[in-house]
Amino acid sequence: MAKLPTPHINAKEGDIAETVLMPGDPLRAKFIADNYLENVICFNEVRNMFGYTGTYKGKKVSVMGSGMGIPSIGIYSYELFNFYGVENIIRIGSAGGFTDDIKVRDIVIGMGASTNSDFAKQYKLPGTYAPLADFGLLRKAVEAAESMNIKTVVGNILSSDTFYDDNPDANTLWKKMNVLAVEMEAAGLYLNAARAGKKALCILTISDHVFTGESLSAEDRQNTFHEMMEIALEIA
């Protein structure tokens, strides 16, 4: 194990569980720690990217914010996988729906993560790599959701580097290829996991729909996101 702490995580060896839940918002990490975990310790406050470890139904689990975008989750997931011995990272975040059959409040699980990012260029691959979730985690998530009577939609998502895209046709073109929803982190997480020989999964709640304009209020988001959190905790 590399020298600890790392430049971005001020945790000691053993502070972080083998499975980490990663919402984008560090305050959502705090919410999960406060409302779902027992015996909680805070292992990171560097740059206010809060990280906590506790127990859920007797099992050691960590939760930490990732920040927004592939560069941010790329840093944190790399350090967790490669320096802290983390084996599984489950991203839990929000997304904008694309396809007509995706509705606000739906739970989408990213089997694959298309992207407009150049993050994979660092690996100098002789072709195009398809970032994928770990199938074992994906299957467990679907089974957990079914046992909780929560509907999920599994498929391809888009991890976009641009929230405000200068190309007005970009979203329509991704929708044409049956990409379910757009977020900003999963592809980088899946690539880091693949390179490290670890496991990753992205579970999303549809907070708005890109084409219909429907969106959740702040109160609705807080209430709906509980289902996504509970699926992730059950498989941690």
Please write the tens of the pLDDT for every residue from 115-165: 999 999 999 999 999 999 999 999 999 999 999 999 999 999 999 999 999
pLDDT for the residue 223: 64
pLDDT for the residue 2: 66
Flag whether the pTM goes above 0.85.
yes
Domains of the chain: residue spans and CATH: 19-235 (3.40.50.1580)
pLDDT surpassing 90 at residue 217: no
Taking residues 20-44, report their average pLDDT. 97
- Contact criterion met (CB below 8 Å) for 137 and 200: yes
From 130, 195, 124, select the one nearest 159 (Cα to Cα). 130
Q: Which residues contact 85 (CB under 8 A, 6 or more apart)?
A: 1, 16, 18
Give exposure, 15-27, as e/b (b: 16+ Cβ within 10 Å): bbbbbbbbbbebe
pLDDT surpassing 70 at residue 1: no
* Distance of alpha carbon 104 from alpha carbon 94, whole angstroms: 10
pLDDT surpassing 60 at residue 201: yes
Catalytic residue numbers, as ranges = 208
Q: Per-residue pLDDT tens for 76-119? A: 999 999 999 999 999 999 999 999 999 999 999 999 999 999 99
